[in-house]
Amino acid sequence: MQENLPVKRLNRLSWLLSVIIGLIFYLVSYNSGSDKHIYAHTFFTMLGIVLVGYADVGFMIILSKRFSPKSRKFTTGRYLLTYPVSVLIYLLLWPVFALFTNENWSFSSIGLFLAFVGSGTIINIMIIIMHNSVLLYEHKLHSELELSRLKAANAEAMNLVLKQQIQPHFLFNALNTLKALYHKDAAVADNYIVHMANFLRASISHHSSNISTLEDEVKLLYDYLEMQRIRFGTALVCTITLPEETLKENFLPSFSLQPLLENAIKHNNFTQQEPLQVLISQTEDRLVISNNLQKKKMKDASTNYGLANLAERYRLWSGDEVIIKEDLNTFSVSIKLLKNEHSNH
């Protein structure tokens, strides 16, 4: 991203400096009572500062078209141009001031010549210092903006990579289940395909979205849940107790609920006599997914998909943490409900 010069701010600073120095000059001259042309001196003092300030800004605009404001060439060129021009401005103001005050003037006066050269140099030093403070502040803001954009782009890329893990993982398990079902009951397998197609259609439509309404997430979960009910029957019980307003007014990172249900199925033993009972409910501003704990003695090989994937995606998008609790009988995962789909919480 190209960095623009804060031209208006630099010019306003030149005017501010001219007013401050002009006021100081006027008060000193007024109290001494020795300057009969106090107003003319004050005016030309302020004019010289403004002209030097505008010259510095003008050279910066010209140089910025060829060099970056952060480059050494930009700084060197600016210094080489502004110092002689500032001295020239003051030397040109000399005869104008003399004409305005009806005084005699001559460039042969070495003392007066050196006074104007010194004035131009000192004023230019002051202008450069003041302008550099503004440029330094702008550089800092620009760097912070670039850093935040890079962080956002990196988070977006990481989020996309994590989301892309979802469909291959799901398809691998679903196709293995489908293969087994066709060996047992073709009609049930056909029903399974219908729900799998609905799930894939919905997941593809949400693939480019980082965040979804809670209502859409629940709809996506229902198709996945029906697929698992075909597979496990009454051994799997999933209860969702979410108010209608909660479904419509809150958001979650896309594909948040399905991995949590899959995680519960993957790590627990359950039968029709001892079913896996999953409850999805709301506690204040958090969504809680809990299940009775019936851990498998032989753990399946992990792909680091489920909870780790969701926790990382949730952290990248919302900045909040996924809260995991486990006791002797219950395992639960709590995630904060997001209120605004366009806000990075």
Residue linked to tokens 């991995």: 259
Which pLDDT tens digit goes with each residue over 238-276? 999 999 999 988 998 877 888 888 889 888 999 999 999
Angle between helices 110-164 and 72-100 (to 10 degrees): 140
Residue linked to tokens 């007066």: 112
Residue 281 banded pLDDT, cuts 50, 70, 90: very high
Which pLDDT tens digit goes with each residue over 284-309? 889 999 999 988 876 655 544 567 77
Distance CA 241, CA 287 (A): 10
Q: Give the amino acid at 234.
A: T
CA distances from 57 to 10, 22, 47 (A): 7, 20, 15
Identify whether the C-beta of residue 265 lies closer than 8 Å to the C-beta of residue 228: yes
The DSSP output letter for 301 is P
Identify whether the C-beta of residue 337 lies closer than 8 Å to the C-beta of residue 320: no
Whether the predicted pLDDT of 199 surpasses 70: yes
Top CATH class of 165-336 equals: alpha beta
Whether the predicted pLDDT of 235 surpasses 90: yes
Burial 182-195 (b: 16+ CB within 10 A, else e): eeeeeeebeebeeb
Residue linked to tokens 């110092």: 83
| Burial of 75 per CB tally in 10 Å (0-12, 13-18, 19+) | middle
Q: Please provide residue 299's backbone torsions phi and psi, each rounded to the nearest 5 degrees.
A: -80, 140
Which pLDDT tens digit goes with each residue over 121-180? 999 999 999 999 988 888 888 888 877 776 665 566 555 545 555 556 667 777 888 888
| Burial of 217 per CB tally in 10 Å (0-12, 13-18, 19+) | buried
Per-chain mean pLDDT for the chain: 82
Looking at the chain, which residues constitute the CATH 3.30.565.10 domain(s)?
Answer: 165-336
Residues 6+ apart with CB under 8 A from 299: 267
- DSSP per-residue codes, 172-230: HHHHHHHHHHHHH-HHHHHHHHHHHHHHHHHHHHTTT-SEEEHHHHHHHHHHHHHHHHH
Span of 219-223, 266-270, 337-341 with lowest mean pLDDT:
337-341
Neighbours of 83 (CB within 10 A): 16
State both tokens at 28: 């000193």
Distance CA 258, CA 162 (A): 14
Which pLDDT tens digit goes with each residue over 14-51? 999 889 988 888 888 778 766 667 787 788 888 989 99
Whole-structure pTM over 0.85, yes or no? no
Distance CA 238, CA 296 (A): 19
Distance CA 245, CA 337 (A): 13
Neighbours of 210 (CB within 10 A): 19
For the chain, the 3-state helix, strand and coil shares in percent, each to the nearest 5, are 65, 10, 20
Residues 6+ apart with CB under 8 A from 139: 3, 69, 70
Neighbours of 227 (CB within 10 A): 24
H or E element at residue 314: helix 306-318
